Amino acid sequence: MIGELGDQGELFQCTNMEALVPAGHELRRLNAVIDDRFVCEVVGHLYSDIGRPAVHPSVVLRMWILQHRYGLSERRLCEEVQMHAGYRWFCGLTFNDPVPDQSTLVKLRTRMWAGTNIWEIVLRMTVAWCEKAGLPPAELMAVDGTQIRANASLSSMVERPPELSIEAGEDASADAGATGADLQIEAGGRPRGPRASGDARFRHEKFSNATHTSTTDPDARLARKGRGMETHPRFLGHYMADVRTGVIYGAMATCATGFGERDAALALMDKLPHKPRELVADAGYRGGAFLADVMSRGVQPLVPLGDGPLEAIPEFTRPAGTPEAEAKRQRARVAAAARNATRLATRRRGARTQRQRIRIEHLFAEAKQQHGLSRARGRGLIRVDQQVKLTAAVQNLKRLLNMRPQRATGLAAGCVSAEQATLHAFSRIYGAKRSHFRRPISRYGRHSRYCPGVNSKTTPFSSGL
């Protein structure tokens, strides 16, 4: 009888890996857009012909793509590839090929491939594949950061030694990686002190980044999203994406410091293959020095600075006594002029640009809900940076998958060029129409949340997968 469970102990079973994967499956479309020949060129010099045959670099990269696409841990990834025929086919493995062990992936990530920039290259290649498919150059980009919960708890916080204590205004990232080796840790991994690991009773104990550090992850910093919210060890993840299409051009992770977002924005801008015309950001990037640095790179920042009048450029009647004082005065003049220019440019563009900026928040929401970016999978700033970049690369692949079938439809509909077809596809994918951002008029009011026919779960950045 069909479906009856039997012994299932046949000696030979003839199967075809190609026939097990459906024709329109996502893995087939993902395999069609990935060109992983660059991996051997980047890490090929690390391998030798002597000894046991190693796992092919393309297999490792494809396994990491599956891990971040479906939000799996490395142990769960190896288990899924072991029993999932589609995953095996995507990684180029047959039923007779052994699946790499979790320890192999960890050693490649932390030791062998640690000295290469493979994760940054993978992100750049996804952008190049999108441009090859017809993505036009980005003219308006958005930058923002989000907090990532570290793989550490508050019970791992201990006081810093006096020689390692930092001032409140000092950049906490300067001592990252040095505190873990200098802290006294017992053989079992528990810090020496009045509180054992796992004890959550710190009723009369106050924590601060200047006086405390985590023994589990010394790179993590105490941070919270707002007043009255819980404080946990966290990192900051940063994206720089095209507002119109949602393609992420740059991604990185930093320690949760006060100036992490602005420094990361400048670092991501310097890595761009071509500079955008405008950069939109929220009020957290309103510092005059940051705006001046962005304008010095030939990019106009668009940051909400209020509807007040333009501020006066500082004028000084007395000459500066020292060169340092004169340099400080000059920085104040430049910052005031940059804020005035940004205020005028933002008013000229209107509120629509700031509404478009919210789309980068949708990218963070997608990364946290679907790809596991809400919490760090590993420990250390380097591991979190790898996770952020691979997650951004997977999101770009999703944009590319959604774009390819729509592009042919746009050309068949009579678009005059591939660029117009691509823009048409992206607008259909991400809901770039005005109706997605404006609620219909009803008897309850234009912007009432009781307006019938409005689905509050619908977002402009619906992935479609």
CATH numeric code, 123-152+236-315+322-465: 3.30.420.10
Six-digit token pair at 377?
């999978």
Confidence class for position 148, pLDDT limits 50, 70, 90: very high
Give the per-residue pLDDT at 8: 58
Name the average pLDDT for the chain: 77
Q: Which of 120, 115, 65, 430 shows the shortest CA–CA distance to 272?
A: 120
Q: Span 46-50, mean pLDDT?
A: 83
Give the per-residue pLDDT at 185: 38
Give the per-residue pLDDT at 168: 43
Confidence class for position 131, pLDDT limits 50, 70, 90: confident
Q: Span 95-113, mean pLDDT?
A: 89
> Within a 10 A sphere around the Cβ of 314, how many other Cβ atoms?
12
Sequence spans of domains, the chain: 21-116, 123-152+236-315+322-465, 153-216
* Strand-strand pairing, 221-223 and 232-242: antiparallel
Give the per-residue pLDDT at 267: 94
Give the per-residue pLDDT at 62: 92
Give the per-residue pLDDT at 203: 60
The answer, yes or no, to whether residue 227 has pLDDT greater than 60, is yes
The answer, yes or no, to whether residue 423 has pLDDT greater than 90, is no
Contact 206, 347 (CB under 8 A): no
Give the per-residue pLDDT at 368: 93
Six-digit token pair at 384?
């979190």
Give the per-residue pLDDT at 116: 87
The percentage of residues in the chain with a pLDDT greater than 90, rounded to a whole number, is 32
Six-digit token pair at 435?
């109706």
Q: Span 372-383, mean pLDDT?
A: 90
Cα gap 293→168, rounded to integer Å = 25
Q: What angle in degrees, to the nearest 10, is found between the helix axes of 381-412 and 118-132?
A: 10
Cα gap 31→330, rounded to integer Å = 55
The answer, yes or no, to whether residue 172 has pLDDT greater than 50, is no
Q: Span 299-326, mean pLDDT?
A: 85
Cα gap 459→431, rounded to integer Å = 8
* Window from 266-280, 340-354, 356-370, 421-435 with minimum mean pLDDT: 421-435
Contact 198, 133 (CB under 8 A): no
Give the per-residue pLDDT at 239: 95
